[in-house]
Amino acid sequence: MTMEKFYNPVKIYQGKDSLQELKNTVNELAARNILLLTYHQDVMKHEVMNEVLDILDQYHVVTKVFTVSNPDINDLYQLYNDTKDESIDLVIAVGGGSVLDVAKSLCCLYADKDDSVNDIRHKIKNKQYKKPKCHWLGLPTTCGTGSEVTCWATIWDREQESKLSLESQQNYAYAVFVDPRLLISMPKSLVVSSALDATAHATEAYWAKHTNMISKIYALSAIQMILPHLEAIMAGDQRLVHYDALSKGSMLAGMAFSNTKTTACHSISYPLTLNYNIPHGAAVSLLIEPVMKKNLMILDNQEQLLSAFGVKNVDELGSKIKNYLQQVGIETSLKKWNVKKEDLKVLVSHCFTAGRMENNPRDLDENDVYDILESIY
Ligand SMILES: [Fe+2]
């Protein structure tokens, strides 16, 4: 018997008036001590943040600026340690995926006492975290990760050269406020890498072993919504309508993969980001073409996916993605990112991320992954 299932409990307020609901939401949660986590000091001067600060005026707010992208377990521990005695009962995160992921992680970590980085490393690795102690609210400032509507957080462990994932079905955001005004100051290279990350989420949700009817619909809609508006922004059109569409598309892609997880593209991309600092969105989107070529023989309805991208075949899709990246000065070959050809063999062994690679529709072995890496070398 086959069965479709889909679950996502996040209350979504989207659009430039979405903050109107923030006050009611904070009241509803009866928070006393709020952690306000932002990605940059300058964000506090943003017109949207003025509205947020007005709403929070009557509450005790601890503000922390968290500037790290791709946060490491040490960064997370430091923030946890700095705030654990504040009796935080609500976390509000304003930022990109890294800030949102750290906010989610803190909600789980506050439920327990941890005395060292090793304590939390062990807890996350072995999935021994408790039920989150408090809720979190998200105000995304980028349009790619979909972190606002997923229940997992990526935390890097550079010391142990691995990627950790803190996952809990109880740790979805209580509500998110997706205000496109927060996106307008994104540099173009970030717009492109974020938007392409979202298209990778959608693509992988579409073909994942654990895909479902609803995720497929969200995935196709996400890609169709993102690309024309990405192109408009790249051509210099800065109107809010385009950022609004990017944030909607990214959220739809997030909804799609919130119930499927990602597959080989994300699995293979992690060591590229960890070891060579290739931006996540660039690494993962460069892998769409070669992974799709491997998957093609068992994909049904690949025409729908290609047509959502506005291309006729996989080669055309690969060229389209590279063209977006090159237009904002992002290198599109591993060689240009200082990957040595002789490193590829070792790299292959780091590309099999648990929970992601085995979710690829076609089982890939080390030879397949070597071919994939070589094709973008
Ligand atoms: Fe991603």
Class of domain 188-375: mainly alpha
Domain boundaries, the chain: 11-182, 188-375
Distance from the alpha carbon of residue 273 to the mean position of ligand 1, in angstroms: 11
Distance from the alpha carbon of residue 109 to the mean position of ligand 1, in angstroms: 23
Contact 107, 317 (CB under 8 A): no
Q: How far apart are CA 336 and CA 334, in angstroms?
A: 5
11-182 with 188-375: one CATH topology?
no
* Parallel, antiparallel or unpaired: strands 152-157 and 162-167: antiparallel
Distance from the alpha carbon of residue 200 to the mean position of ligand 1, in angstroms: 7
Distance from the alpha carbon of residue 135 to the mean position of ligand 1, in angstroms: 23
At a CB cut-off of 8 Å and minimum separation 6, what does 292 contact? 203, 299, 302, 314, 317
- 336: buried, middle or exposed (CB in 10 Å: 19+, 13-18, 0-12)? exposed
Distance from the alpha carbon of residue 367 to the mean position of ligand 1, in angstroms: 24
Cα 47 to Cα 44, 53, 99: the distances in Å are 8, 10, 20
Distance from the alpha carbon of residue 242 to the mean position of ligand 1, in angstroms: 21
Q: Does CATH place domain 11-182 in 3.40.50.1970?
A: yes
pLDDT given for residue 4 in this prediction: 86
Contact 171, 107 (CB under 8 A): yes
Average pLDDT by consecutive 10-residue portion of the chain (377 residues)? 86 94 95 93 86 94 90 95 96 95 95 92 91 96 92 92 89 96 92 97 96 97 98 96 96 97 97 94 98 93 95 98 98 97 96 94 97 98
Distance from the alpha carbon of residue 163 to the mean position of ligand 1, in angstroms: 13
pLDDT given for residue 2 in this prediction: 67
